[in-house]
Copies of this chain bind each other. A is one copy, B any other.
């Protein structure tokens, strides 16, 4: 039985114009259960780089919320272009279960084809494969599905956490808000930061 006030971190990246900048903001939003926003954190990762797993792990471990967190949710596993998060490695580095959530079913053939155009495509593809089995889950009305990959958490507990936190849409609230904040802050801030 998952506690209703479980601390969950939702992680998403900001918008960027491809090839125009070297780094992208990643925002983490801490929720207590599905209603109470309790905190925020951020880091920067390299477009099409290999630092997403390590930088997100550091962001989490350096946060004052780290000891309270029980689950990390990611908006998919590819950040800042094809900077792939290895969810098993993120789970190992943070000691926290990881759930990667996508709205649409990922097309692995397309992902692999896109990766071929990038340096070290095999390394990226291995991180994609390392995400393991894709589960299809309904979080709210029993109709609209989301797709998840998990590390360090059982299917049944993952479903419980996803349903508990999907209070306002089929997307868990920490991820919905992380997406809005990362999108909203990335545009203007980039101008001033010369990223």
Taking a contact as CB atoms under 8 Å apart, the answer to whether A40 and B184 are in contact is yes
Contact of A41 among B29, B188, B194 (CB under 8 A): B188
Closest to A37 in B: B177
Taking a contact as CB atoms under 8 Å apart, the answer to whether A41 and B185 are in contact is yes
Distance of A29 Cα from B181 Cα, bound (Å): 8
Count of chain A residues near B, Cβ 8 A? 32
Taking a contact as CB atoms under 8 Å apart, the answer to whether A40 and B183 are in contact is yes
At the interface, yes or no: A42 with Cβ under 8 Å from chain B?
A: yes
Say what secondary structure dominates the interface of chain A. Answer: mixed
Taking a contact as CB atoms under 8 Å apart, the answer to whether A189 and B40 are in contact is no
Interface residues of A in 64-84 (CB under 8 A from B): none
Q: Could you say which residues of chain B place their CB within 8 Å of the CB of A95?
A: none
Interface residues of A in 85-112 (CB under 8 A from B): none
Q: Could you say which residues of chain B place their CB within 8 Å of the CB of A5?
A: none
List 7 contacting pairs A-B, 8 Å CB cutoff, sorted by A.
A40-B183, A40-B184, A41-B185, A42-B187, A44-B189, A59-B188, A189-B193
